[in-house]
Amino acid sequence: MKHVSVAGKLVTLLFTAAFLVACSSSSTKEEEDAAAAAAAAAAAARAAQEAQAAASGAAYSAEQARLEETAAAYGNVFYFGYDSSNLTPEAIDALNAHIAYLKTNEKNLRLEGHTDERGTREYNLALGERRANSVRDYMVVNGVASYRIESISYGEERPIGYGSGESNWAQNRRVELVLIN
């Protein structure tokens, strides 16, 4: 996610540079060299852009960047209540931001469901999946194609907080959104 965004900015930058150089009217050898270099840079930028467009299915845009930043500000972890897979109001706000961004691209994503340590491990594997699917279903209903989403449950196997008590449990009851490309 991060490196794609940087690549996008780079493409923009190269384009701007190439455009400015190409527009300046000049006839000196030095300037011709510069123009040739700029043309080469522009070609490289086009190639990079095409590659990126092919990969992500959407060109970079300022609006996309804004949506990406908004989603990032919400974070990619959504929290749940005990033995619950219901989305909290906070999770819905965060998900809405992610969905808005995901609609601007074709990225695939992985939803990793987790639980706290209470209850049995196998039940928690199922509960983690239920949480991941709860997030998936909300995304699909709101316009993210289901084929882009993979759900996986780790149950209680991957805690953030190892200790017992609600402060640890609360941070372990979660779904993490991971962008794959």
Long-range contacts of the stretch 56-59 (C-beta < 8 A, 24+): 56/4, 56/105, 56/106, 56/107, 56/181, 57/105, 57/106, 58/104, 58/105, 58/106
Among the listed residues 20, 64, 67, 12, the one whose alpha carbon sits nearest the alpha carbon of residue 39: 20
Three-state DSSP class for 35? helix
Segment lying near other proteins (by CB under 8 A), choices 5-13, 22-30, 88-96, 121-129: 121-129
154 part of the interface to other proteins, by CB under 8 A: yes
112 part of the interface to other proteins, by CB under 8 A: no
149 part of the interface to other proteins, by CB under 8 A: no
Answer for which of 55, 72, 126, 160 binds other proteins (CB under 8 A) is 126
68 part of the interface to other proteins, by CB under 8 A: no
What is d(CA 147, CA 150) in angstroms, rounded to the nearest whole number? Answer: 8
Answer for which of 153, 173, 177, 179 binds other proteins (CB under 8 A) is 153
CB of 103 to other proteins, least distance (A): 24
Backbone angles phi, psi at 106, to 5 degrees: -120, 25
Backbone angles phi, psi at 84, to 5 degrees: -120, 145
Backbone angles phi, psi at 154, to 5 degrees: -105, 0
CB of 123 to other proteins, least distance (A): 5
20 part of the interface to other proteins, by CB under 8 A: no
Which is closer to other proteins, CB of 41 or CB of 170? 170
Answer for which of 59, 123, 137, 138 binds other proteins (CB under 8 A) is 123
Size of the site for other proteins (CB under 8 A): 22
User: Do the beta carbons of residue 173 and residue 116 sit within 8 Å?
Assistant: yes
Per-residue tokens: 144: 């993210």
115 part of the interface to other proteins, by CB under 8 A: no
Three-state DSSP class for 7? helix
Answer for which of 7, 35, 77, 119 binds other proteins (CB under 8 A) is 119
Which residues form the interface with other proteins (CB under 8 A)? 117-123, 125-127, 129-130, 151-155, 157-158, 162-164
